[in-house]
Structure 1
Amino acid sequence: MAACARDSEPGGRTMDDTGFYRAMWRWHFYAGLIVLPVLALMAVTGALYLYKPEIEATLYPVHMSTTPSGALLPPSRLAAVVERTTGAQVTQIVRPATMSESWRVMTKVEGGPPTVHFVDPRDGRILGQMRGGGFMKVIKDLHSLALTGPVGNRLVEVVAGWAILLCITGLYLRWPRRGQPALAIRGRASGRLFWRDLHGTLGFLSAGVILFLAVTGMPWTEVWGGGLRAVVAANDWGRPKMAVIPWSAPAKDALPWTLREGGPIAGDAGDIGVDQALRIATAHGMGGVQLILPASPGAPYLAASIVTQAQDARAITIDAASGAVVQDMDWRMFGPGAKAVEWGIATHQGQQYGEVNRLLMLAACLCLLLLCLTAPVVWWKRRQQGRLSAPPAATPAARRMVAGLMLFIGLLFPLTGLSMLVALLGEWIMGQRRTA
């Protein structure tokens, strides 16, 4: 029995070791049990989304098949062709940064999803279309659980918080001590030691990047992210002190994260037209640009740069009646808090530092998926007398200490904190039943 007890703890620890370690192990176990399926989904969809440009170029006519030649048609002609062909109103025009890509003209009908039409800017031919954001919108909605509505978005916030807890507890458990190396794969594939080492080594190598992904994913959430945006805006930590039009959903999504809060402005009646609006955007140094047309009389045009790196973020509003630039917001005007968030988002998406950045994020996604797959194997290999069970309970003092540390994380991420309280209540109820 003593030999069995000594092998029941990870890292070669014995049952008489500190209760703090066992309490951390128990939290790590329950955290994984709660969120592993969702984390596996996020790992797969996140890896796919890193390659959005390549996937969309394969599925849709993003790139024109013929060598570009000849003069470009005025954007108004492209919009007129699309409106005449579809019978729907054009709401946005995207001019790509490269000459080999087709232009994107978005239409929207009341009660229906937006449709992107890929158009050859030299002859006005509609090369294809993408409805409702296409395949990558489905991947994005799966990644954010948006398919389930507001509940899903809040669940993502809970999962991200538990992922942070997993990283912290996992690093503590795998930290080298008493001859236990952090990076080692020992034993045979049929044994528990091999799978425990594989899981621990992968976790130790990737925990930092996974922790970064979890933290930088938080700004997209409604509760925590929405609160952060409001704080940044209210304290002038990021958004310039300028009026902002009441964004419709597509226009709001085109803006940098820190520019999505603001109040309304209205201009005089009149319209300079999309041709002049794009010329103004070009004159202000914008190459690849997304032009959002006025949603109502008196509303301005919004020209947003196509962002790759965080410092590319720029948006200008153009008075539709006079053509005057009434707002010009760019990276240089952001406060340090806003810059940190925008940098985090661009790095999270694998864009900030080129291909090296993307490959690192891809490696983190693959490691996360492997961690989700190896964790159940470790649990299965650990079963005693044919029964699956949780790690051994720690002393009450150690449980309270670790629970306090975990709930501190819960204070930083309130929805996660609420779920932690539920987990603690569930464990207390189970303990009461065992002692009854």
Structure 2
Amino acid sequence: MWRWHFYAGLIVLPVLALMAVTGALYLYKPEIEAMLYPVHMSGAPSASSLPPSRLIATVEMAVGESVTQIVRPANPSESWRVMTKADAGPSTVHFVDPRNGRILGEMRGGGVMKVIKDLHSLALTGPVGNRLVEVVAGWAILLCITGLYLRWPRRGQPALAIRGRASGRLFWRDLHGTLGFLSAAVILFLAVTGMPWTDVWGGGLRAVVAANDWGRPKMAVTPWSAPAKDALPWTLREGGATAGRAGDIGVGEALRIATTRGMGGVQLIRPATSGAPYLAASIVTQAQDARAITIDAASGAVVQDMDWRMFGPGAKAVEWGIATHQGQQYGEANRLLMLAGCLCLLLLCLTAPLLWWKRRKEGRLTAPPAATPAARRMVAGLMLLIGLLFPLTGLSMVAALLGEWIIGQRRTA
């Protein structure tokens, strides 16, 4: 257990530290964006506002780009967000005062929080980074399980204790072990609920959920365009929309229809092609807020109204896990618990190298000694289970085993 806990930490520690920092920052996305961008308007909120078509026309005239979507916030004190996208280049969000149509500011390419999110998921490195996140999450699960085993209370070894002085190894071992024991459940939860965002495992899970009707209503096979797909709840992204007749009822009417259906804060995606419908997606805070309405652009008829009640148990579990992972499902207490998990994970990443350094023998850094046969069997079982559940992690485990075997052969040669 000790040896493989050591290897797991050695392999994933830098990425886990990055994910802990970026995850903690992303928990406070609304507050950070409010500090950096004109999210909130000055003055008292007004019950009256310009027609959405006027807001769109103002933005298109000012920037010379077509508007792809518009976001009406649930809070009347917040500015509306109007998104444009040039033929080549990232999208731009324009913060607009609905009372007079004045553009208050803009956010290009998703802004600072998009960078933090991409760092958290390693999306900046493309598909390779996304697969690396999946590998790291699997190893993090192994770290949590082996760490709990190592720190579990035994005779002469309490689970929660900090002994010795800061200059000694016992102090740092106790600090590392106590922090790990206290936070293991939260870190394990973050690792498991982060898996749906990955391409291989998460993509496979989405396909299974969709194929078995475990999470979404029956939908046509025509795929959503990228902006619409990003606005949908996780379990609805594998579907599509039924093409209709050419025509356009207008953004204002589409928003009115969404309002009459009980939607407050709403993200409205304009039809990308002739015959495509409007997509109105609710601004999700809790998992049960997930809702999407498709509106025929020619007639204004509601083609489909999909909400939480239509999700199967598997999809509900995933949506709940995502909302809780992001600290939204249970309010501030939820966010503070996830923040504590991120901070403890960062401290574990910082104390682990110190323990490694203090364990060195004769000035050389070494791995822990081999485990007993019983512990080996337990670790083998854990690795087999995790490797089967998360195939990319399993492949990395095989590579680590081969590496240890090769090193052992060279030492004995």
Which one of 243, 251, 259 corresponds to residue 266 of structure 1?
Answer: 243
Which one of 65, 72, 75 corresponds to residue 49 of structure 2?
Answer: 72
Q: Output aligned runs, 1:202-241, within 5 Å.
A: 202-241=179-218
Q: Output aligned runs, 1:33-52, within 5 Å.
A: 33-52=10-29
Q: 1:433 to 1:96 in 2, by over 3 A?
A: same
Q: Is the 8 A contact 1:78 1:121 kept in 2?
A: yes
Query: 1: distance between equivalents of 2:328 and 2:371?
Result: 44
The 3-state SS of whatever aligns with 2:280 is strand
Which one of 291, 294, 313 corresponds to residue 314 of structure 1?
Answer: 291
Q: What is the CA-CA distance between 1:396 and the residue it aligns to? A: 6.5
| Deviations 1:61-80 (CA, angstroms, capped at 9, x unpaired) | 00002222362000000000
Which one of 158, 174, 195 corresponds to residue 151 of structure 2?
Answer: 174
One-letter code aligned to 1:394: A
Question: Does residue 246 of structure 1 match 2:261?
Answer: no
| Deviations 1:267-290 (CA, angstroms, capped at 9, x unpaired) | 001000001000000000000000
Question: Does residue 285 of structure 1 match 2:262?
Answer: yes
Q: Is the 8 A contact 1:310 1:342 kept in 2?
A: yes
Query: 1: distance between equivalents of 2:197 and 2:47?
Result: 42
Q: What is the CA-CA distance between 1:386 and the residue it aligns to? A: 1.8
Question: Does residue 256 of structure 1 match 2:233?
Answer: yes
The 10-residue stretch of structure 1 (390-399 or 34-43) with the greater mean CA deviation from structure 2 = 390-399
One-letter code aligned to 1:432: Q
Q: Paired residue for 1:403? A: 380
Q: Is the 8 A contact 1:246 1:265 kept in 2?
A: no
Q: Is the 8 A contact 1:407 1:420 kept in 2?
A: no
Gaps of 5+ in 1: 1-23
Q: Is the 8 A contact 1:103 1:119 kept in 2?
A: yes
Which one of 37, 46, 50 corresponds to residue 60 of structure 1?
Answer: 37
Question: Does residue 95 of structure 1 match 2:66?
Answer: no
Q: Is the 8 A contact 2:241 2:276 kept in 1?
A: no
Q: Paired residue for 2:281? A: 304
Q: Is the 8 A contact 1:245 1:299 kept in 2?
A: no
Question: Does residue 354 of structure 1 match 2:338?
Answer: no
| Deviations 1:219-260 (CA, angstroms, capped at 9, x unpaired) | 000000000000000001111123365212221111110001
The 3-state SS of whatever aligns with 2:107 is strand
Q: Output aligned runs, 1:322-333, within 5 Å.
A: 322-333=299-310
Q: 1:397 to 1:357 in 2, by over 3 A?
A: closer
The 3-state SS of whatever aligns with 2:411 is helix
Query: 2: distance between equivalents of 1:212 and 1:345?
Result: 10
Question: Does residue 119 of structure 1 match 2:114?
Answer: no
One-letter code aligned to 1:387: R
| Deviations 1:346-387 (CA, angstroms, capped at 9, x unpaired) | 000000000000000000000000000000111111112222
Which TM-score applies when normalising by structure 2?
Answer: 0.98
The 3-state SS of whatever aligns with 1:417 is helix
Q: What is the CA-CA distance between 1:400 and the residue it aligns to? A: 5.5
| Deviations 1:176-202 (CA, angstroms, capped at 9, x unpaired) | 012200000000011000000000000
Query: 1: distance between equivalents of 2:257 and 2:241?
Result: 22
Query: 2: distance between equivalents of 1:402 and 1:135?
Result: 41
Query: 1: distance between equivalents of 2:371 and 2:289?
Result: 51
Q: Output aligned runs, 1:4-23, within 5 Å.
A: none
Note the aligned Cα RMSD (angstroms). 1.2
Question: Does residue 420 of structure 1 match 2:397?
Answer: yes
Gaps of 5+ in 2: none
Q: 1:153 to 1:393 in 2, by over 3 A?
A: same
Q: Paired residue for 1:144? A: 121
The 3-state SS of whatever aligns with 1:265 is coil
| Count, aligned residues | 413
Q: What is the CA-CA distance between 1:264 and the residue it aligns to? A: 4.6
The 10-residue stretch of structure 1 (65-74 or 363-372) with the greater mean CA deviation from structure 2 = 65-74
Query: 2: distance between equivalents of 1:139 and 1:384?
Result: 40
Query: 2: distance between equivalents of 1:435 and 1:398?
Result: 24
Q: 1:424 to 1:342 in 2, by over 3 A?
A: same
Query: 1: distance between equivalents of 2:367 and 2:46?
Result: 67
Query: 2: distance between equivalents of 1:360 and 1:244?
Result: 40
Q: Paired residue for 2:314? A: 337
Q: What is the CA-CA distance between 1:398 and the residue it aligns to? A: 5.1
One-letter code aligned to 1:413: F
Question: Does residue 294 of structure 1 match 2:271?
Answer: yes
Query: 2: distance between equivalents of 1:310 and 1:394?
Result: 43
Identity %, equivalent residues: 89
Query: 1: distance between equivalents of 2:403 and 2:90?
Result: 43
The 10-residue stretch of structure 1 (311-320 or 247-256) with the greater mean CA deviation from structure 2 = 247-256
Query: 2: distance between equivalents of 1:178 and 1:70?
Result: 67
One-letter code aligned to 2:174: D
Query: 2: distance between equivalents of 1:123 and 1:66?
Result: 13
Q: Paired residue for 1:3? A: none
Query: 1: distance between equivalents of 2:343 and 2:281?
Result: 33
Query: 1: distance between equivalents of 2:120 and 2:297?
Result: 37
